[in-house]
Amino acid sequence: MNSIFNIVGHHLDLYDKITNKYVGSVEVSVDDYPNRVHGYSGRTTERINANARRNGGKVFPIQGQFITELMPVCGKINGKTLQDRLEIIKEHYQKQPYGRQHRG
């Protein structure tokens, strides 16, 4: 995956199989899922038996069948200096299909 961000980790977002509501997330190693697509298009159903975490940070045990999405945890923008980072962002938005134009 080509990203303007430094990827610092990955987690699985868990959704209830019946209601499709968000249940929590589990930290994982990307090595466990080498060929999996990130995000919504990579959704699969898996059996999970682990400790999950909710938005508030509460950790709880979870097990069963869930719909999962592999999500990257992004760190800072790649680039050594502030000017490099600003240039990376500018180039990124100019390449996007929705045609944003720089107004500066």
Residue with tokens 């990203």: 3
Check pLDDT > 50 for residue 1. Answer: no
Tokens found for residue 66: 């869930």
Q: Is 86 helix (H, G, I), strand (E, B) or coil?
A: helix
- DSSP-assigned letters across all residues of 13-65: EEEETTT--EEEEEEE-GGGSTTPPPSGGG-EEEEEEEEEE-TT--EEEEEEE
Q: Is residue 92 part of a domain?
A: no
Q: Is residue 17 part of a domain?
A: yes
State how many domains the chain has.
1
- Structural domain for 70, as ranges: 5-77
pTM here is 0.71
pLDDT per residue as tens digits for the range 22-73 = 999 998 887 888 888 888 999 999 999 999 998 878 899 999 999 999 998 8
Q: Is residue 69 part of a domain?
A: yes
Q: Is residue 91 part of a domain?
A: no
Q: Is residue 101 part of a domain?
A: no
